Amino acid sequence: MSKTATAEEAVRRIGDGAIVAVNASSGLCCPDAVLAALGARFDATGSPRNLTSVHPIAAGDMFGTPGVDHIAKPGMLTKIIGGSYPSGPTKAEPPKIWQMITAGQVKAYNVPSGIVFDMLREGAAKRPGVLTKVGLQTFVDPDLEGCAMNDAARAEPLVFHREFEGEDWLYFPAIRPDVAIIRATTADERGNLSFEQEGAYLGAMELALAARNSGGLVIAQVKRVAQNGSIRPHDVRVPGILVDVVVEAPGQLQTTATDYDPAISGELIRPLHTFRPADFNVGKVIARRVAQELREGWAVNIGFGISANVPRILVEEGLHGAVTWMIEQGAVGGVPLLDFKFGCAANAEAFVASPHQFTYFQAGGFDASLLSFLEVGRDGSVNVSRLRGVPHRTAGAGGFVDITARARKIVFSGNFNAGAKMRVEDGQLVIDSEGKVAKFVDAVDQVSFSGARARELGQDVTYVTERCVIRLVEGALVVTEVAPGLDVQQDILDQAATELRVANDLKTMDACLFQPGTMALELARA
């Protein structure tokens, strides 16, 4: 018997007070048609009410896929646990979910994405919860903010300290969802799901297991429905025994603002010459310097921001494949994509489930991570997750805390301060006017990465900016390289709002970084 139904029929089965887990990463794998039907049902009937939504990675975006905004309605949504949230331009109207969070209309938590997946997996296995050291001494820690995003959440703590075998751990209770809403490309009539046109699996299997083992409902949105037996067993990523309802949505986007790109789903190998090199500017100078930190043969995680351009640097230098890129959504290898397609990779070597990728990250199994910063504190701590004045400008922490918890080497990148007018001319950085907002400060607004814990663990931490390279040395920020033509005191030390030390063997950054077309990047073997 076919499990297909309309979206309207499917969401009628969701009751008041349900815990609803959603598998998505912005527009990637977002079951937007089902979420739209769920929101429309509430508008028409006032039900279901008092929902809790769980999003390991953000559902929806600000660029055409509303996602969680479909259900961001007072009375309908009363609690949300998100690894990340929809984000967008400063001057744009904030998403509805952010308006609810800042108004205190919903209890909102920013829990590291990997931990949210862990909470669901523990719920699926009927275990009590997650013991982890991921998040210690960051905003995740109850001694700081305990993941709470507003006063409503602070009144209902989500994470606790627990002692186990003489050590301090963070404890997150398991999540047992009543509903899982997932998405795939194809379902057969029995509900077997394949992902051949998707750019990731994310945590579809884990969410389906958690709901099924909790006696709940699993709704799968798909692009098309096929006859039984037409999907090869090896291609089934979620078996039909876990799926209750299939909703066909032929117009679903592959990812944010992308109808379909076969290179994203690994169905086509895109020629390397089609990846456009980044324009030569200050951001490219930073990305080039970050690339110099890499070693041939490394497995390297990459995050959003300036560092996302580093794979293009290697393509431009004829070094594609010298390192293997890894992103939290699950792609391994290939070329991570930019802008609306961030979170996807073209020409990936493999796709793994996000929960498996996060297990790899949380234990520090990879060689290095390239990430961005908003602020850097005196002790090396980093804020990447909160801009208090414009909260929707950032997505929250996402997988940042999972990735940095035990990473052996981390390279943070960003402009030295905010608002400076700069250009590269004649092989030098020219600062026309200074920025008004310091990014190196005594204490960061939110601790996304703990410099103190990094010192305890012996992590190798570097901060690359357009005007200098700074390393974390015994808990202090030490300037080790300066851009050619700059004055260390005037252009660096005086522009920081905290103490920076200067290395005794201060070096000048390679002049080739500041000359378009002259860099010959060489990566030493690891």
Catalytic residues: 328
CA–CA separation, 51 and 19 (whole Å): 6
> DSSP string spanning 303-358?
-SSGGGGHHHHHHHTT-TTSSEEE-TTSEESSEE--GGGBTBEET-SEE--HHHHH
CA–CA separation, 362 and 399 (whole Å): 10
- Enclosing H/E stretch for 290: helix 282-291
C-alpha separations of 354 from 35, 201, 326 in Å: 22, 7, 11
Torsion of CA 183, 89, 464, 274, to 10 degrees: 60
Q: What are phi and psi of 282, to 5 degrees?
A: -60, -40
- Enclosing H/E stretch for 119: helix 113-124
Residues 6 or more apart in contact with residue 504 via CB below 8 angstroms: none
- Number of alpha carbons in the 13 Å side-chain half-sphere of residue 52: 13
Residue 289 identity (one-letter amino acid): R
What's 469-519 look like in SS3?
A: EEEEECCEEEEEEECCCCCHHHHHHHHCECCCEEEEEEEECCHHHHCCCCC
Tokens of 456: 């305890």
Number of helices followed by number of strands (H, E) in the chain: 11, 33
CA–CA separation, 186 and 243 (whole Å): 13
Q: Which of 301, 96, 116, 87 is nearest to 202 (CA)?
A: 116
Residues 6 or more apart in contact with residue 394 via CB below 8 angstroms: 87, 374, 384, 385, 386, 387
